[in-house]
């Protein structure tokens, strides 16, 4: 039996738009509702763009990055031009890289993490044209390139992030990367 997408998404929209829903069920519960509804839809329609995208975003909101990538990439197959989707994929790859082995030491980055950083950089690069002043994207790109050993690109994006930043939330990380570069990578005089 084919599920009626309009009815399924209308039910989901009704649930999510109900006044005070966050107070009634809590933020994580709201994401769980989305997750459950989308999984049900995807059982009968695995290529459904909206369900894949919504499920990926719900998992992203729950910080389940690896699983979110599965659904975000499935949605990407149907809409490669959606800048927010591209951003979410790049962000998920970036967060997976951090989780997968980007040791706190800037010297150490295992091959699995490098692959995630490379994928993050690829997707985030395509976001820059759509979000040219987004310091989060620029910081993630700069950090990804740094971990990949491309210090020129890293410097370019880290400087851009500092120029566009409203809040100094990444300033300490950028200073740490710069100090590392000076102390470990610059030629000794």
Task: Give the pLDDT score at 141.
Answer: 92
26 φ, ψ (degrees, to nearest 5): 80, 155
pLDDT above 50: residue 2 = no
pLDDT tens readout for residues 33-55:
778 888 888 898 898 888 899 89
Rounded Cα distance between 47 and 115, Å, is 26
Rounded Cα distance between 68 and 52, Å, is 9
Instruction: Report the chain's mean pLDDT, rounded to a whole number.
Output: 77
Helix orientation angle between 135-148 and 151-164, rounded to the nearest 10 degrees: 160
Asked if 177 and 156 count as a contact pair (C-beta separation under 8 A), the reply is no
Long-range contacts of 163-172 (CB under 8 A, 24+ apart): 164/133, 164/134, 164/135, 164/138, 165/135, 166/135, 170/135, 170/139
Asked if 113 and 121 count as a contact pair (C-beta separation under 8 A), the reply is no
């Amino acid at each position: 039996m084919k599920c009626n997408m309009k009815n399924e998404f209308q039910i989901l929209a009704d649930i999510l738009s109900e006044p005070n829903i966050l107070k009634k069920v809590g933020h994580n519960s709201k994401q769980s509702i989305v997750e459950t509804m989308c999984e049900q839809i995807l059982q009968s329609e695995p290529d459904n763009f909206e369900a894949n995208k919504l499920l990926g975003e719900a998992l992203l909101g729950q910080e389940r990055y690896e699983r979110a990538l599965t659904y975000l990439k499935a949605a990407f197959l149907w809409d490669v031009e959606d800048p927010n989707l591209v951003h979410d994929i790049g962000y998920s790859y970036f967060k997976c890289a951090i989780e997968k082995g980007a040791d706190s030491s800037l010297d150490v980055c295992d091959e699995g993490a490098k692959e995630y950083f490379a994928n993050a950089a690829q997707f985030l690069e395509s976001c820059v044209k759509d979000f040219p002043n987004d310091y989060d994207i620029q910081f993630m790109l700069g950090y990804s390139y740094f971990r990949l050993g491309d210090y020129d690109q890293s410097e370019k994006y880290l400087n851009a992030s500092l120029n566009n930043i409203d809040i100094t939330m990444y300033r300490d990380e950028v200073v740490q990367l710069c100090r590392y570069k000076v102390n470990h990578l610059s030629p000794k005089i």
